[in-house]
Structure 1
């Protein structure tokens, strides 16, 4: 999907604004980079050893595409914190909250670096989960490019993404 392509009158968020919002919801969101690689981590503000999720990938050299390789939210940790803490509420207290904040901070970083397109593979290693991922990514603005399957023509994409699924 194209990063920041919708023209609206809403206030444009910055990395700091995302972090401030996350903190108001009981989360600490950090971004680290090394060369073209990046990793964002969401932790509990109450206990920094409670990792609630992470997102990692890289900026494709010589292009405009941010490759969002993996995002994982630890459902049990999120639900545990939601039940234990009154300060962990709202958007960040939902299962979508940490992943949205992680994705958003990455998209802001990519845009700052001049990247305009983000790609993510909805991995197809279990049919029910794959269907949920495709629906979720469509809901947040990603468009289906193609299905990466088991065929010979899919080998380059499988090598790039590490599996089959909807790109």
Structure 2
């Protein structure tokens, strides 16, 4: 966990209060978390990259696999948000075109929107193209959007469902 994320949880900005659930951590001692400052190589082919935006201490898991470089974070809800020009979801491509933005954010964190945008661009530059459809990138949202009858019109154009590779 990024050190400044742990600190931010104790001093919530008013815009963050609806999203954080401090009662979840009430009985967890702060020293139970391994805190880091910035990006860190965890081992061969595995790193966390500091990508603030969704939360102050957002970080992206980056993996070097047999299929290339993958990244996973909460900065976007669908793989196609990194290449919105290929999206068939209503409004995604149009929104990116209208606002002249290269990516579409998981936009529930208004206090750090610019940081989140910049971080999503970084994530986009780190990953390889998907082998099954090179219009999309090997970005795996930590909360990947899935089709649901309860949310008509939000079926993703493309989704990974899992990261597959050989050892």
Higher helix proportion (structure 1 or 2): 1
Q: TM-score w.r.t. structure 1 length?
A: 0.28
